[in-house]
Amino acid sequence: MKRVGTIQIKYMIAKNDFSKAGAAASNIKKTLRKLGISTDVIKRVAVAAYETEMNVIIHSHGGIMYLNIDVEKVTIIAEDKGPGIEDIEMAMKEGYSTATSQIRELGFGAGMGLPNIKRCADNFEIKSSLENSTIIKMSFNLK
Amino acid sequence: MFTVKNLVEELKLEIVAGERGMINLITDVYIGDLLSWVMAKVDDGNIWITIQTHENIVAVAVLKDLSCVIISENAMIDNDTITRANVEEIPLLRSSLNSYQLALRIGELLK
């Protein structure tokens, strides 16, 4: 595996920390801009990174997001501390959400998070079960 | 070219925060109160009209390069939202009009 020219940044995401919500996604966007990556890719990464970050904040006990950039692609991996997703198929459907009414009142829980991520990324993988953490991996081609 | 400053003057909007972004150019207008929905649909330079006042609206505005956010119907705005809009230089505006009335007025201005 090529390591030359790879940028890796790690973001710690805390449960229910709305005061920092969007901070990781904003930093990712700024990083990509500095690297001169195309606007089309930046726009898609920004949406996917935001949704990923919000999912970790709202639905998990916290987790970590990793940003990897090499010459071929931008990759974001998020791993949380669980609890996992009971029904991934349902979670992938637009409009389906398990967010509480309190969270919904703040404008979250539209049930668009995972579908938004999948739509924006060139590759998207999700692994989760109720007993385990959720791992999401997405990549965006640069070539 | 229509800027946020022009918009504020025409509609007599209250500038709540983010005055440094008043030179932002306006492309169009979008109305929505579900953040992920807005994330998916809104475009660069859009005015975003919403009744959501939680600080995360600023994150959405930054990530989507919006020109400004208008809070309709004089909804109460959290202090954290104001602070964040100032830091991010996102104009946070407010009006007594509802979202529909605002959009009608803006539609006339953007013609």
**Domain spans in chain B, listed from the N-terminal domain onward:** 4-91
Interface touch B56/A106, C-beta < 8 Å: yes
The phi, psi pair for B50, rounded to 5°, reads -155, 165
Interface check A47 vs B, CB under 8 A: yes
CA quadruple A112, A113, A118, A122: dihedral positive or negative?
A: positive
Residue of B34, B35, B46 best to disrupt the A interface, most CBs of A under 10 A: B35
Residue A25's pLDDT is: 97
**Domain spans in chain A, listed from the N-terminal domain onward:** 7-141
Residue of B31, B63, B87, B89 best to disrupt the A interface, most CBs of A under 10 A: B63
Lowest mean pLDDT among A28-32, A108-112, B59-63, B70-74: A108-112
Encoded tokens for A123: 């590759």
Alpha helices in chain B (DSSP H): 4-11, 35-41, 56-63, 79-88, 99-110
pLDDT of chain A, 143 residues: tens digit per residue: 445 579 999 999 999 988 888 999 999 999 999 999 999 999 999 999 999 999 999 999 999 999 999 999 999 999 999 999 999 999 999 999 999 998 898 889 999 999 999 999 999 999 998 888 999 999 999 98
Encoded tokens for B68: 């400004």
Q: Which CATH class is domain B4-91?
A: alpha beta
Within 8 A by CB and 6+ apart from A16, the residues are: A57, A58
What CATH number does domain A7-141 carry, 3.40.50.300, 3.40.50.2300, 3.30.70.260, 3.30.565.10? 3.30.565.10
